[in-house]
Structure 1
Amino acid sequence: MNLIKRDGSKQPFDLEKLERILFYAVGDLKGVSVKLMTKIIETNVYDGMPTSELHKIATQAASELIGVEEGQHPNYSLVAGRLEIARARKEAYGTYTYPNLAQHTRHLIEEGIYDKELLEPFTDAQLEELNDHIRPERDDLFHFAGSMQMTTKYLIKNRVTDRIYDAPQHAAMLIGMAVLPTHYSGDELIREVKDFYDVVTTFEGSLPTPIWGGVRTPLRQFSSCVVVEAGDSLAEINAACDVASLYGAARAGLGGNLGMIRAEGSAVRGGLAYHTGVVPFGKKFEASVKACSQGGIRGASANMMWPLWHLEYENLVVLKNNKGLELNRVRRMDHTIQLNGYLWARLQEGEDITLFSPHEVPGMYTSFFADTAKWIELYEAAEKDPTIRKKTLSAVDVFTALFIERGETSRVYIMNVDHCNTHSSFITEIAPIRMTNLCVEITLPTKPMQTVDDPNGEVSLCTLAGINMGRVGPAQLRRVAHVLVKFLDALLDYQDYMVPAARNATMKYRPLGIGVTNLANYLAKNGVKYSDGSANNLVHEYMEAFQFYLIEASMELAKKFGAAPGFHCTKYSRGQMPIHHYKKAVDELHSAELKLDWEWLASQVVEHGMRNGTLSAQMPCESSSQVSNSTNGIEPPRELVSVKGNADFTITQIVPDYFELKDAYETLWEMPNNRGYLALCGIMQKFFDQSLSTNTNYNPSLYEDGMVPMQEMVADALFFYRIGGKTLYYSNFRDGQGDEEKAEALLAATSMSQAKEEEPIDSNMGCDSGACSL
């Protein structure tokens, strides 16, 4: 049989050459067989097969053997990963070895693929020094899932022809080379680039899709998260939709706050017309987002915000639902319902909740976020005012609708707006938090715009990265935290901004969002579990150091480059660290003492300032965790061996250190309930200055008749509120259930008796306990 080479010529199929490639991929790995892979490949080879397809079949042959059953082995994941990355190198460079970095980069600059300024900050000697620092052997660390993430999303490629232009080690080095000259030069620049390269290529730190897939190209938009707020006027709504369209096309996930829009039937132009309500504008925002495909890297997505007390609540809470007409649903977006402790207390006390159109009670919408006591005063006065349009429902009915939709769709989220402000980086009366983002971990100030060119609006961006807890223990944490803060801060000055409101807000606050990944592996290595409280002190110790070193790094940058212009808007400027304004109830869950010198850090921050208004946010890490073969973010693994796939390929992923730790891992569906996991999230939230993508998970098979009591879902959310939780993300049911099955498995409550057993929310609690006075 003949194979067709890339230049169109024929060559005989060479079994010995194939075996040499397979032996390279196997290396010194145990439990894998070249002979077995060769048999699988030979059955798929045909006369006239392109050599590029043979490479793909070799990767596929190894991937089919990933597993823990007889004839399988987890190490085939490394074999498949090495073969896939070798295929990328061959396609990008015409050879399996990396060419000279500067020469290849110049070639791609000439082709218009790389940024034309990429090499300008470096001398020839510096380029050779960086080329010599590249470690091709680190490609051997990629498992199959990570290699496929690289070749399908992260490496630069022609999205039409699928031609790959670079490989991971060049990509990682060039990302640092593109960004860090913004702040550094000379020997210091070379040192910073090397440090960044080492953190990324050893998987100590992880980068999100916009950075991997964009930095080194002419496109300069790398913020993962964009939060944009619509006002109540047509101009403000149109401006928010335009921004959503622009940033959706630029690979960002979007949060859209449409909660300020007045309710259906409201007077417009003094009563000459009446308002069509919120839903049409939700559909307009949806259309603006979904018109953009993000260049084939990932689909544009968004999350919309609505206050629970909005007069159209009954329409808004069902927008994700598959029932109803397309005309009155916004199904291709996710939705967040915004609450506070006062509304939770009304549920617990069996009272009513009154719904209003935001514009009809002046000051109520803004005070809902900025001044809870003022909001309560306005809210209760409006309830008694017969001239104000309103609708009164029992709190049980209001919350039942919320948790039915959250249970059935999994993607109706919760935002506790009071905690997002009291335990925020920002001083609430100066820069209130009114919304979150696609994955509900970002909490930054926003202001509506009149037009996309309005410089007085604020569109907040957050630029993300993660620290791999499985590879970075407490001893390495300070070094990795400093490297990532320096890189991301430089990225803010390197990237472009689609609209003035985004540039101005980013330059004012310079927000970062660094999280962690591979928590499940870290817990397994230390012999502790999510569900029984044994991990609580360990996580407290790690997260204290995590946030301490992030703040320290930002303070050191402020010494060198100056504090963020909006630093005075932060609690940090007053010497208030996260440990000074968290919800004290979380300390009931652990016995750990603070180990680091927070008073010293606070004094240094007051003296020198901070370069960044925020530093921490816990993102889901779905894609980036695959690159480093990590467990997903802070989540327990669903299975020790899991299979994911799409129309193009299927990936079998095995938890890290399977043979050593398989009995130490606790999987998601083994946990008896959510409380242990939520407790860990609460402990993390004690230190994080933004929020966490925190999920709840329910296995109907654990309940009588396979029915999940809604009271338990509500009780979980109340427990999370009590310990300071800011946001709740997905509500997952056991895999394999569609919406109808979820609905059947959810037992709707006619009372909230079980939820009421949670410790009541004190309606008189003051700011010293971590919440605004209620």
Structure 2
Amino acid sequence: MQLATENVSSSSLPASNFGAQTPASATGVSYADYKIIRRNGSVVPFEPAKIAIAMTKAFIAVNGGQAAASARIREQVDMLTQAVVNALMRRQPHGGTFHIEDIQDQVELSLMRSGEHDVARSYVLYREKRSQERAQAKAMAPAAAEHALHAIENGVRVPLDTAKLASLVDAACTGLGEQVNAKAIIEPTLRDLYDGVSMDEVRKSVILSARSLIENDPAYSFVTARLLLNTIRHEVLGEEVPQSDMATRYAEYFPEFIKKGIDAELLDEKLQQFDLARLGAALKVERDNQFGYLGLQTLYDRYFLHIEERRIELPQAFFMRVAMGLALNEIDREARAIEFYNVLSSFDFMSSTPTLFNAGTRHSQLSSCYLTTVSDDLDGIYQAIKENAMLQKFAGGLGNDWTNVRALGARIKGTNGKSQGVIPFLKVVNDTAVAVNQGGKRKGAVCAYLETWHLDMEEFLDLRKNTGDDRRRTHDMNTSNWIPDLFMKRVMENQEWTLFSPNDVPDLHDRFGKDFEAAYIAYEDKAARGELKLFRKIPAQQLWRKMLSMLFETGHPWITFKDPCNVRSPQQHVGVVHSSNLCTEITLNTNEHEIAVCNLGSVNLVNHLKDGQLDHDKLKRTIATAMRMLDNVVDVNFYAVGKARNSNLKHRPVGMGIMGFQDCLLNLRIPYSSESAVEFADRSMEAVAYYAYWASSELAQERGRYSSFTGSLWDKGILPHDSNKLLAEQRGGYLEVDESTSMDWDALRARIRQYGMRNSNCLAIAPTATIANIVGVSASIEPTYQNIYVKSNLSGEFTVANQYLVRDLKQLGMWDEVMIGDLKYFDGSLSKIDRVPAELRQLYATAFEVEPKWLVEAASRRQKWIDQAQSLNIYMAGASGKKLDETYKLAWLRGLKTTYYLRTLGATSAEKSTGKGGELNAVPVSGGLGGAAGAMNLPEPEVVGKACTLRPGDEGFEECEACQ
């Protein structure tokens, strides 16, 4: 019986469906781009057909000769072969080499996972038998000189220096403790090499060998990052340079890098005016070792500058380039650039993705978010779509307010015809976002907002459905409900709601609070008297149910609340907040003359813990620098649209947020589902807010107040937490928020009275999807998704393991292959692993094990202090109509301004991995988000859910990274 994939004959076996040149992936890579290393060291083409033949022979060995002719078995073999091929391709998506043992391991895994246990057992036994035969033959053979490997470097064939390779791996493991084993990396690396291999493949192979061990211990993430760093240095500097020599090389290379970037028309010529020698000497080479693999690979793939795909930027030069771009207008530019560099390179604070992309370049579009209002005429509509395209070109995320546009059936005065409503135009917006893909770096991203009283609301709710007329669907665009408090009151009190066309009720768009309520009731009276022809009445609860139903089924529209955003807005004296942004954390005024702009960055909260509590001194220093950086963005920013420039210079809003909140809780040993976590959310956000507002006031003292300061809530001495009283007054109840404080807010109030504020708005908690990856902490305010999983994004697939959990389990002597296997089987959850102590199971509860109320309660405490909003994902296991209803009503009662994605737990999960370890993609990537969750047990109409199919790390999940 021949069961191996070497030297198999295809005679008398069924033909395979796998051709040698079949594309292996959507990237255009074909099977011809892959090679197989046989046990004798020879290299042969990768032929999936041979895998199918070997599997067929395995079935024949168990089922007899008739198996070859069985349609069922042929279908099973094709399916299993495809699974093996897919698993291999995911490991090396751009081509490369596989060892024969790797392929046979995958064949064995596929047979086991498919339930073909007898065939798998036969296959395993045969492999073992052949292994023993080879060992016996080797022992009996006369000793032969070991075959020396050669490598190709710059077209020259030279002996492979295995000692140098081993030294490189040893250096990468230095200082990471006994948990990392250089031998476990070097042995599989050498096994996978062949005579005549290119040095690029050697460097790639050692990275892959280290990467495969990350699931065994998170420390290997740092090892892999250091090996990748060696490859990056070779690409940038033209040679491999050890870490010990980099302090000197960085100082020499940095001025050359700036000159090369300017000559290539990538960098702003003004950077040449800096004292480059001083800045080069300030680079901290040891900070290169802070990176985990995911963070450094992300920077390499998507952030580092390149000329014809060859990178010219090293990590510390990257941070200094960003710092220089933000310090261009400073008086002492070098000192400020070094100050900015230090907070970035130490990971204490990180600017948003557009800032990291473009600071210091010739197109310094550094702002993250743009909010627009669309006017009710054809010229205004297409002008808004053009502005979307221009803003997206340089990596801006968009929030569009479409409430002004008249509804379906409304009269068009100029033609005496009837309007097609909002929906057809949103289809154009959707397709524009796809076409203008942020300069080729990532997909365009936009969110459309519509107020709940708009007559097109019910069709708006259906936009993301996969059924119905596709011309009235927007599969790539986000949508959000902009809900006035009056609607929520009608829901709570089981009253009717009226839908209008905005051309009949023109002032509702700009009214909020009690003014909106009075005007709305007056329009209802007009409709009742027959003075308005185009309207529709509907039970408020029925519309609310449909909102929740569509949110559950399609993930959209999101639930956001108009009145808290306006009543608590410091800028209500000069305009109205008509929508939020792409990620629901920005709440700024817009109108047909102003496009709101916000500049983002996030404080790494866990870096500001000391001795079990917040280090207020360090936090104050970091925030003072961060606010200065964000304020500078307003002045150095490239504005693609004049209305955005005018608005930003007039109001100077910024949005500083936080990330690493879950890391803080784990360091403090506080479960997310606890009053202690809610209290920490309160006190930590209070400190961040206090120091941010203080810093803005200091900037006002130095640089002057923002021009629309007079008449603002700041000017009136009403700070963000004071404005909850205004909201309670406007609502007339229906507000239950904590009012506790712990810092000297009177001193800040007095300071603002004296010096004013530099920025109309200061705080907003963005998703931080990508910058948290760079820094290596939990995103934003998110709970742990899973304790071990595979993160998929534009840079590839990465195993992520919870380093805090691994540390704790090691201390208990419980971190071993069995625990890894259990975590995989239970989708990264400890809840069903009984041998783990209960307190650890509670501490390391994953997102779907945290009741949604805890997410809302913690968010409510934060919202008290924030002058804008926060991107709050709601995670919900066992979603039902009642649970959705309770959760989103609680969010409104607790004063939240916005919510973001609803993440529901699927009824089924992916196949469980039974791998031995080392399979890069063995961890199930679903079992969390998506899948049918059954009926929601709501009254009519019936709701059957599909749930949101996105997961952390997916492109879709990180749609919000237009912000971060």
Q: Normalising to structure 2: TM-score of the pair? A: 0.72
CA shift for structure 1 position 59: 1.8
- Whether contact under 8 Å (2:320, 2:341) holds in the other structure is yes
1:132 alignment partner in structure 2: 281
Q: What's the offset of the Cα at 1:586?
A: 11
**1:622 corresponds to 2:769:** yes
Instruction: Select 1:694's aligned residue among 844, 848, 872.
Output: 872
Distance in 2 between residues matched to 1:458 and 1:354, nearest whole Å: 30
**CA deviation vs aligned residue, 1:371-414 (integer Å, no higher than 9, x gap):** 43443343433442313111111122211111111011223211
Read off the aligned partner of 1:650 and give its amino acid letter: E
Which residue identity does 2:268 align to in structure 1?
A: D
223-232 vs 86-95, greater mean Cα deviation? 86-95
Mapped pair 1:726 → 2:897: yes
Letter in 1 for 2:506: P
After superposition, where does 1:504-543 map in structure 2 within 5 Å? 504-543=646-685
Q: Which residue in the other structure is 1:336 paired with?
A: 480
Q: Deviations over 1:304-355 (max 9, x none)?
A: 0011111111111110111112111112101001112211111122111111
| Selected match of 1:32 from 174, 177, 180 | 180
Contact 1:257-1:304 within 8 A present in 2 as well: yes
The aligned residue for residue 201 of structure 1 is 345
Q: Does 1:231 align with 2:375?
A: yes
The answer (yes or no) to whether the contact 1:520–1:665 under 8 Å persists in 2 is no
Residue 647 of structure 1: CA displacement?
A: 7.7
Counterparts in 2 of 1:10 and 1:745: CA distance versus 1, 3 Å:
farther
| Partner Cα separation in structure 2 for residue 379 and residue 597 of structure 1 | 46
1:381 corresponds to which residue?
525
Classify the secondary structure of the residue corresponding to 1:228: strand
2:599 pairs with 1:463: yes
Q: What is the alpha-carbon distance in structure 1 between the residues aligned to residue 600 and residue 385 of structure 2?
A: 24
Q: Secondary structure of 2:409's match?
A: coil
**Cα pair distance change 1:569/1:410, threshold 3 Å:** farther
Partners of 2:397 and 2:343 lie apart in 1 by: 25
Preserved contact between residue 271 and residue 324 of structure 2 (Cα < 8 Å): yes
Residues 596-615 of structure 1: pairs in structure 2 closer than 5 A: 596-615=743-762
Give the match for residue 755 of structure 1.
none
Whole-angstrom distance in 2 between the partners of 1:568 and 1:620: 32
1:716 matches 2:887: yes
The separation in 2 between residues aligned to 1:671 and 1:371, in whole angstroms, is 42
Residue type matched to 2:282 in 1? H
- Going from structure 1 to structure 2, the CA distance change for 1:586 and 1:369 (only over 3 Å counts) comes to closer
Q: Distance in 2 between matches of 1:403 and 1:432?
A: 26
Report the equivalent of 1:682.
860
Q: Aligned partner of 1:32: which letter?
A: V
Q: Distance in 1 between matches of 2:238 and 2:231?
A: 10
- 1:284-323 map, 5 Å: 284-323=428-467
Secondary structure in 1 matching 2:511: helix
Question: CA, structure 1 residues 230+712, in 2 after alignment: closer, same or farther (shift >3 Å)?
Answer: same
Counterparts of residues 477-556 of structure 1 (less than 5 Å): 477-556=619-698
Is 1:418 matched up with 2:554? no
For residue 103 of structure 1, report the CA deviation from its aligned partner. 2.5
Q: What does 1:132-151 align with in structure 2 at a 5 Å threshold?
A: 132-151=281-300
Give yes or no for the alignment of 1:110 onto 2:257: no
**Given that residues 409 and 739 in structure 1 are in contact (C-alpha distance below 8 angstroms), is that contact kept between their aligned partners in structure 2?**
no
CA distance in 2: counterparts of 1:431 and 1:733, whole angstroms: 37
1:253/1:302 contact within 8 Å kept: yes
Summarize the Cα distance change of 1:239–1:27 in structure 2 as closer, same or farther, 3 Å threshold. same
* 2:874 partner letter: T
Which AA in structure 1 matches 2:936?
Answer: L
Q: Could you tell me how far apart the structure 1 residues matched to 2:734 and 2:858 are? A: 9
Give distance in 2, aligned partners of 1:683 and 1:648. 35
1:744 partnered with 2:744 = no
CA shift, 1:287, in A, is 2.0
Cα contact 2:236–2:313 (8 A) shared by 1 = yes
Task: State the 1:532 CA deviation.
Answer: 2.3
Question: Post-superposition shift, 1:177?
Answer: 1.4
Q: Does 1:256 align with 2:400?
A: yes
Looking at both structures, which has the greater relative contact order when contacts are Cα pairs under 8 Å and sequence separation is at least 6? 1
Larger Rg: 2
Counterpart-to-counterpart distance in 2, 1:278 and 1:9: 64
What is the Cα deviation at residue 737 of structure 1?
6.9
Query: Residue 608 of structure 2 aligns to which amino acid in structure 1?
Result: V
Amino acid in the other structure paired with 2:173: V
* Counterparts of 1:371 and 1:315, CA distance in 2: 27
Q: Distance in 2 between matches of 1:631 and 1:740?
A: 22
- 1:50 corresponds to: 198
One-letter amino acid of the counterpart of residue 939, structure 2 = A
Q: 1:52 Cα shift?
A: 2.7
> Equivalent residue for 2:164?
17
User: Which stretch shifts more, 191-200 or 243-252?
Assistant: 191-200
Report the CA distance between 1:150 and its aligned residue: 0.8
Alignment of 1:174 with 2:321, yes or no, is: yes
Paired with 1:442 and 1:647, the residues of 2 have a C-alpha distance of 25
Secondary structure (helix, strand or coil) at the match of 2:503 reads helix
Offset at 1:499?
Answer: 1.1
CA contact (8 A) 1:733 1:742 kept: no
| Cα distance change of structure 1 residues 464 and 656 upon mapping to structure 2, 3 Å threshold | farther
Aligned to 1:89: 233
- Secondary structure of 1:513's counterpart equals strand
Question: CA 1:743–1:593 in structure 2 vs 1: closer, same or farther (change >3 Å)?
Answer: closer
Question: What whole-Å deviation, never above 9, does each CA across 1:170-200 have from its counterpart, x for those lacking one?
Answer: 1111211122131x223xx333222221111
3-state secondary structure, aligned to 2:710:
helix
Q: Aligned with 2:420: secondary structure?
A: coil
Following TM superposition, by how much is the alpha carbon of 1:745 offset from its aligned partner in structure 2, in angstroms? 5.2
For 2:651 and 2:514, locate their aligned partners in 1 and report how far apart those are by CA, in whole Å: 18
1:361–1:382 CA contact under 8 A, matched in 2: no
Name the CA distance, whole Å, in 2 between partners of 1:658 and 1:119: 47
Q: 1:368 to 1:318 in 2, by over 3 A?
A: farther
Matches of 1:81 and 1:60, distance apart in 2: 11
Provide the alpha-carbon RMSD of the alignment.
2.3
1:649 lines up with 2:785 in the alignment: no
Aligned length: 721
Q: Which digits, 9 at most, give the CA deviation of each residue in 1:24-58, with x for residues without a partner?
A: 21112121111111122223324444323332222
In 1, are the aligned partners of 2:663 and 2:778 still within 8 Å (CA)? yes
Matched letter for residue 470 of structure 2? E
- Cα 1:2–1:249 shift into 2, 3 Å: farther
Which TM-score applies when normalising by structure 1?
0.89
Q: Deviations over 1:51-105 (max 9, x none)?
A: 23332222221111012xxxx2111011111222232222112243334322321
**Unmatched 5+ stretches in structure 1:** 449-456, 701-707, 753-774
- How far is the alpha carbon of 1:214 from its aligned partner? 1.5
Partner residue of 2:70?
A: none
State whether structure 2 residue 364 is matched by structure 1 residue 220: yes
Change (3 A) 1:688 1:436: same
Deviation sequence 1:128-152 (CA, Å, 0-9, x none): 2222211111111100111111111
Q: Deviations over 1:408-437 (max 9, x none)?
A: 12232111000001122212x422111111
Distance of 1:726 and 1:615 partners within structure 2: 16
SS of 2:306's partner is: coil
**Residue 671 of structure 2 aligns to which amino acid in structure 1?**
K
Question: Bigger CA drift: 255-264 or 268-277?
Answer: 268-277
1:589 to partner: Cα distance: 6.8
Cα distance per residue 1:498-528 (max 9 Å; x no partner): 1110000000111111110010111122222
1:173/1:232 CA distance change after superposition, 3 Å: same
Question: Please, which runs of 5 or more residues in structure 2 have no aligned partner?
Answer: 1-148, 810-839, 907-925, 943-964
- Does the C-alpha gap of structure 1 residues 589 and 724 become closer, same or farther in structure 2, counting only changes over 3 Å? closer
Deviations 1:611-632 (A, max 9, x none): 1111100111110111111011
Paired residues of 1:531 and 1:672 also in contact (CA < 8 A): yes
- The Cα offsets for residues 531-564 of structure 1, whole Å up to 9 and x where unpaired, read as 2212222222111110111011111111111111
